[in-house]
Chain A
Amino acid sequence: MATQSRTELLAAYRTMATMRAFEERMHIEFAGGGVPGFVHLYAGQEASAAGVCANLTDHDVLLNTHRAHGPAIARGADIFAVAKEIYCRGEGLCRGRGGSAHLHDTKNGLWAANSGVGSGVALGCGAALAARTRGTGGIAVALVGDGAVNQGVVSEGLNLASIWKLPLVVVVENNGYGEATAAGYAIAGGGIARRAEAFDMPGVQVDGSDYFAVFEAAAAAAERARRGKGPSLIEVEVTRFFGHFEGDAQTYRSRDEAERARRERDCLANFRRTVVAEGILDAGELDLVDTDVADLIDRVYAEAEAAPYPPDDELMEFIYADSL
């Protein structure tokens, strides 16, 4: 905890509060029918992306998952452009053609949010090799979920990163379910973090309701990558507060699982409790952040809903550099 200043911790709280409020509002707007297309909400997992991204610089690349909203915000993408992208509007991050699951922002080192789960590890190998080849000093962080770890390409990527000692950190957000399939059913070998051992890299498991645990694990892995010591794997245990996607009936888990997680494993509440108890931040300034964030979210959604759709004549653009 001592590794981050008071200002940095206040910023971390603001980031997590923004991610949470963005998704709580998205849940309501989606139910109201105002959001075109599917969304996968990140609420409950905020400490993971916030703790990881707090260790990244402008030279680094984050390869996002399909549960993309929270990590995009944590990486510093313009939240207005994030919302407009989810609403498929022309002023979105990808001019409204990527949508919720494909948020890219090359300016902020946010890459390849991806509904082809696991591909981020492969793309991350390329980004990490390029960083080393070009001598940028950057690292790549591939964010994937527990559902992705049984994809062949993840094993291909972990192996390649290890034999080439790439500056890559693979962060597996284990929220317990790949869609509806329980991680305990789907994953052999006694857990995700243990798989790292087979690839001769450090693998740790951290509590994703504890921002400080995530931050410290990510700091160690990022430092190792920057020193040229090679890749690491971090398994972050999280609970998603909503379904796999909005509209998911969640027949695969007990009705009170998410409610219990909100009571007992809320990373935002845990963070607040810790920093107040230790006298680092006071409750009043955190309340002010909450007020600010609520106002920001109102403006973000109002602007996104009012933003124009891209013109239809853009349909055939950007397939190739020039039209064939």
Chain B
Amino acid sequence: MSDSAGITESTDTAASTETAESTEMNMLTAINHTLHREMARDDRVIVLGEDVGANGGVFRATEGLYDEFGATRVVDTPLAEGVILGASVGLAASGLVPVPEIQFLGFVYQAFHQLAGQVARMRYRTRGRFHAGITIRAPFGGGIRTPELHSDALEGQLCNIPGLKVVMPASAADAKGLLATAIRDPDPVLFLEPLRGYRLIKGQVPTGEHLVPFGRAATVTEGDDVVLVAWSYMVEVCRRAAGKLSDLGISARVLDLRTLVPLDTEAITSAVEECGRAVVVQEAPRTGGFASDVVAEINDRALWSLEAPVARVSAYDNPYPVGLLEDDYLPDVDKVVEAARRTVEAS
């Protein structure tokens, strides 16, 4: 990315920051903290969505914004996703910087035309005369017993819409650094927040200016027998799986893609070249998922480095199941360990 002057290069393992000062936050707090900072930094930023204002958001992600910035910048909308995203295009084209929230990612189906037919295409359709710099925040994913449409991992569908960027942080620090980059980015960004990670994922978060560039994967666990490629909450699952694999004498590397569009194909390629084996882990159903794309990229770029077929661990090809069934449906540590073990034993 070269369009935002404030963006600094990050290393593979950590994002660059203005100062070394940091404090522990969970992912939700990091998101809230970043929204406060970005709204204070740029008065064109407007947050809108269902219950984001006076209520502070169903998960508290927008808590305090309404009191600090007022009703003209933190706007409660009716439950009407189509017009939330459609109006965001109008706001963006008028020079404002909308940050709409889709309360659960599954609800974006109500607005799919606005997203795929309007938000994503404005720049291309008008050859840059018109564009929609919008950051759409949406919690998604399973593991907290929400019903279907509150849990689905739809990123594969979203990555198949040219014009959108798809950002999926896995750590509290990245949630801050990637959200700040998204809000300052001139393109539409889907910023997907893992529900399970909101309070569970914690870490040191730089308290000052902190930007993580798009398209840079991060190695979160070192290893050289097999690389586990993942994004969002599946990074946490892979990290735990790597610990178990270590007990089995297998050295697993964990690569966090951080952003799916743009995709860091170089990091994937070099990890596969160095490890010779790969497992791609996604929370979404198997068929047509983004993991398939990662496998295809590995085939294109690193096929001759492979010592075993690339494995995929995913959910099953069924609608999101309710209640305890999600424990069977979702990829977990044991499934990742098993796939990695088979991959290592395959040759």
Contact = CB atoms under 8 A, between A and B. Distances in A.
Given A116-B118, A319-B162, A126 B87 contact: yes
Interface in A294-324: 314, 317-322, 324
Given A112-B130, A134-B94, A324-B261, A119 B123 contact: no
A322 B7 CA distance: 14
A318 B93 contact: no
22 contacts: A97-B125, A97-B126, A98-B125, A98-B127, A104-B126, A112-B93, A112-B118, A119-B113, A119-B114, A119-B117, A122-B114, A123-B87, A126-B88, A127-B91, A129-B90, A130-B90, A153-B83, A156-B86, A157-B83, A318-B124, A322-B2, A324-B262
B91 A318 contact: no
Interface of A: 61, 93-98, 102, 104-106, 111-112, 114, 116, 119, 121-131, 133-134, 140, 152-153, 156-157, 159-160, 163, 314, 317-322, 324
Given A122-B82, A156-B83, A128 B90 contact: yes
B80 interface: yes
A131 B93 CA distance: 11
B91 A130 contact: yes
Contacts, number: 146
Interface residues of B, number: 47
A195 to B, nearest CB: 16
B83 A125 contact: yes
Contacts of B46: 133
B302 to A, nearest CB: 20
Which residue, of B78, B82, B91, has the highest number of chain A Cβ atoms within 10 A? B82
B160 interface: no
B206 interface: no
A298 B127 CA distance: 27
Contact of A94 (B1, B95, B114, B125): B125
B129 A126 contact: no
Given A104-B129, A156-B82, A126 B94 contact: yes
A105 B123 CA distance: 13
B127 A94 contact: yes
Interface in B1-59: 1-3, 46
Interface string B75-99: 1011010110111111111111010
